Amino acid sequence: MNIIEAKDYQDLSIKAAQYIIKNVRHNPNLVLGLATGSTPKGTYEQMIKDFQQNNTSYQYVKTINLDEYVGLAKDDLNSYSTFMNEHLFNHIDIPHSQTYIPNGMAKDLHNECAQYDRLIHSLGGVDLQLLGIGHNGHIGFNEPNTSFKTRTHIVKLASSTRNANERFFQDINEVPNYAITMGIQTILESKEILLLVSGKGKAKAVQKLLVEKNRCEQFPASSLYAHPHVTIIADKAALSLTFERKES
C-alpha cells in the first residue's frame, strides 16, 4: 500500500483530484469507479475546477459507482444518482449515458446486481476505483463480516452506517435499510484503488487498517491487503492515531 499524507482535507482533495486527472489524461477511455459520501466531495470540486481551467475531458470516460440505496428513485434528493449529478456529472463533459449507478428501484434487485457485474465486465473492468471508508471499516456498503468473495449484492445497512448517513436525511426513519453495493471481490478486481480518508473521526479505522494489518472479514477495508496496487491518501487528522502508535 502506498500512503500519501495530506495536510488537511483541502490538500487531500487536491492530491486525489490530481491523481485521478493524471489517469484520465493518460487514458481518455478510463473506466473510473466512483464513490459517494462527504470525503470525495472536495475531490470532485477540484476535478470540476480543473475541467473549467484546463479542459481535461471526460468525453470517453465511463464511470461506475460503488453503490446505491434500495428504494430511492434516481431523482430522489438523497439518491447517490442525484449526489453524483450534483457534485460531478452535471459540471464536466461526461455524457450521462456513460455514467453507471446501480438502480435501487429495480423490480428484481438480484438481477440488477448480476447485470451490474456483467456491465463492469463488458467495460473491461474498472481501471481506477475511488473508495472512502466507513467508521466500521466498510467499503462501498460492504459492512463488517461481508465475505471477501462477494460480487455486487444487496446489503442490510448496519445501524452505525444508517446513523452516520442520517445527516443527509430529514430523520433516521428516512434512511433506507438496504443498499446495492459492488462486492468486495468486485472492488478487488479493479486494476487500481485509491482510498481517501479524512478527519479525526476516521483515525481509529485508519489505525486498524494500517497498524493492525490483519486481513479479516470483520473489517472490510482490510481486504485491500490482497490488492497489488492500492494508494491511500489520508490527512493528518486521519493518520493521528497511526503515527502515535508507530512512534511509541
Nearest to 198 by CA among 11, 2, 1: 11
Q: Give the sheet arrangement for strand 178-181, strand by strand.
A: 67-69, 178-181, 153-156
E runs forming strands in 41-169: 62-65, 67-69, 99-100, 128-131, 153-156
Least CB distance to ligand GLP at residue 25 (A): 25
Residues forming the site for ligand GLP (CB under 6 A): 35-39, 66-67, 132-134, 140-141, 161, 165
Its sign, for the CA torsion 96, 97, 101, 102, is: positive
Least CB distance to ligand GLP at residue 165 (A): 6
Q: Which residues contact 84 (CB under 8 A, 6 or more apart)?
A: 34, 36, 63, 65, 99, 101
Catalytic residues: 67, 136, 138, 143
Grid coordinates 487498517 are at which residue?
A: 209
Grid coordinates 473508495 are at which residue?
A: 131
- Give CA–CA dist 227/15, Å, rounded: 21
Give the nearer residue to ligand GLP in terms of CB position, either 60 or 158.
158
Least CB distance to ligand GLP at residue 36 (A): 6
Give the nearer residue to ligand GLP in terms of CB position, either 48 or 158.
158
